[in-house]
Amino acid sequence: MGLSDAGRLRLRLQAVEYAAAGVNLYRFAAPDGSALPAFEPGAHIDVALGEGLLRQYSLLWPQPSPSEYQIAVQLAEGGKGGSRRLHYESVVGEHYEVSAPRNHFALQPGAAPSVLLAGGIGITPLLAMYRQLKAQGRPVALYYWAARAEHWLFPAELAGQADVRLFATREGAAVPRLAELLPTLPAEAQLYCCGPQAMVDAFDQLSAGRPPGRLHRERFSASLEALQPGGGFRARLARSGISLEVAPEQTLLQACEAAGVDVAYSCEEGVCGACEVKVLGGCVEHRDSVLSPAQRAANSHMMICCSRGLGDDLVLDL
């Protein structure tokens, strides 16, 4: 697992700052002070943290400066080691390989109200959205759940805002659940959800009756389905003129690499969106955590690191 060469940046860790209980802010900059690629709220970067440790982090918006990126990282003691590497071992001045920003969780245009549903560290992309919507004068409501008040990020900015509701789920007060909240939201609202997997799963189930084009969510981790083997299939690469036989224990990405086809990729778990490819024909078994239900139904793009073809008629723009 590692960053592909496309859009790779080498950045220096400029500063580490306490943000909330268990959460630090990390600020990265170009060593020569040059401007970094701009981005919109909802974007994320991949950060290489050592052998086999590649993690995705949402970018806080606006950028601290044109030459800096800022991320919030929650310590996960029981995780795979990425957050521990940053919390316990990072040193200001150290250099990191970082991807250019990607955005599969962008704000939608239009005058419809936006409702932002954040759980824990999932506030990071939604705070960026909240800031932009407020700056544009667009209608917005932010609901933010954390275990305790000490875990809220940027409480001084959010507390007291008429369009923000902050909830501490372990502090005794009655806290509304998604099942209670979602039916009260306007039918025309654009809904955005980011948080723990159980929260996003509940969001998908509870909002199933709403128009898919108004539902947007981002996940932190790969689904169990993404990591399982599947049936073998054949894929044709239209621009390369190559036909690939993809074995049950093999991913389409691995088959492309074995055939010498240069493809972009990063997480290899269907989370980051780096390996997205246009589908020209055939059906896809979508296993990623990036595409919305509406995007999956359109069958026009797929993540080749985990999703698979159904049958032998898959044609890709590669």
In DSSP terms, 294 is beta-bridged to none
Domains and CATH numbers, the chain: 8-99 (2.40.30.10), 114-218 (3.40.50.80), 225-316 (3.10.20.30)
Separation CA 154–CA 65 (nearest Å): 19
pLDDT score recorded for residue 294: 79
| In the predicted structure, residue 109 carries a pLDDT above the cut 80 | yes
| pLDDT over 60 at 1, yes or no | no
Taking a C-beta distance cutoff of 8 angstroms, is the pair 238, 244 a contact?
A: no
pTM over 0.75: yes
Q: Which of 109-123, 195-209, 217-231 has the lowest mean pLDDT?
A: 217-231
Beta strands in the chain (DSSP E): 8-20, 23-29, 44-50, 53-58, 68-74, 95-99, 114-119, 140-146, 164-168, 190-194, 215-218, 233-237, 242-246, 276-285, 301-303, 308-316
pLDDT at 143: 98
Dump pLDDT digits (tens) for 127-181: 999 999 999 999 999 999 999 999 999 999 999 999 999 999 998 777 899 999 9
H helix runs in the chain, sequence order: 82-84, 123-136, 155-158, 178-181, 197-206, 252-258, 293-298
pLDDT at 180: 94
Range from 143-152, 178-187, 223-232 carrying the lowest mean pLDDT: 223-232
Closest CA to 130 of 219, 199, 41, 64: 41
Backbone angles phi, psi at 204, to 5 degrees: -60, -40
Go through the chain and tell me how many residues it has.
318
Residue with tokens 């690939």: 244
Confidence of residue 8 (pLDDT cuts 50, 70, 90): confident
Tens digit of each residue's pLDDT (9 = 90 or more) over 45-59 = 999 998 878 899 999
* pLDDT level of residue 229 (50, 70, 90 thresholds): confident
Give the β-pairing of 68-74 and 276-285.
unpaired
